Structure 1
């Protein structure tokens, strides 16, 4: 009888607070990306707007928008009772946006 109860409980998964913690982590990461994009824009405007600076700033803002779209889609997915795992394409897009934003920041500092 305990085996049947164990099998029934294995089918119902209680995720606990894990989806909420993951949503909060995505929000913190999005906030960090936002701060990086705003600081990039500030650096361009503070040092004088050159064509290269404006182009780098525009690229930073596009990367920020891409990351924001991926993060928003993931946060919405996590509201489901049984959220799906993140797709490989979305994970690659988030990683690409993050690394490219860091590269843009380095290029703007040089």
Structure 2
């Protein structure tokens, strides 16, 4: 069997590693996070509409919905990528997009509480 190098410098057999249930756990984590973002967005919408829908509040609500949709697209792409037999690593661009959407939701959610 051919041997390969591991990242820590040790040598291993050339077999593919068995990912076990790790891709399934990752898929479920993305789904839970998407659900949590949906709840946060709906609570922000409820707070905005309950507190009076002035133009500034409606702009904030629109930004919340856009941030949630961007996170939903990012999460859905990652969930589909996890279906591969050997899922690719999360790209830095996708990670930055997810973090940006999460921070935007947090900041916009705080803005709805003004």
C-alpha separation in 2, matches of 1:12 and 1:48: 57
Name which of 92, 97, 102 aligns with 1:93. Answer: 97
Name which of 2, 16, 20 aligns with 2:24. Answer: 20
C-alpha separation in 2, matches of 1:47 and 1:58: 16
Aligned to 2:7: none
Question: If the length of structure 2 is used for normalisation, what is the TM-score?
Answer: 0.88
The runs of at least 4 aligned residues of structure 1 exceeding 4 Å deviation read none
Larger helix share, 1 or 2: 1
Name stretches of at least 5 consecutive residues in structure 1 with no aligned partner.
none
Residue by residue over 1:5-24, the C-alpha shift from the partner in whole angstroms, topping out at 9 and shown as x without a partner, is: x72xx422110000000000
Question: If the length of structure 1 is used for normalisation, what is the TM-score?
Answer: 0.91
Name stretches of at least 5 consecutive residues in structure 2 with no aligned partner.
4-11
Aligned residues: 105
Residue by residue over 1:69-94, the C-alpha shift from the partner in whole angstroms, topping out at 9 and shown as x without a partner, is: 00000000000000000110000000
Aligned to 1:54: 58
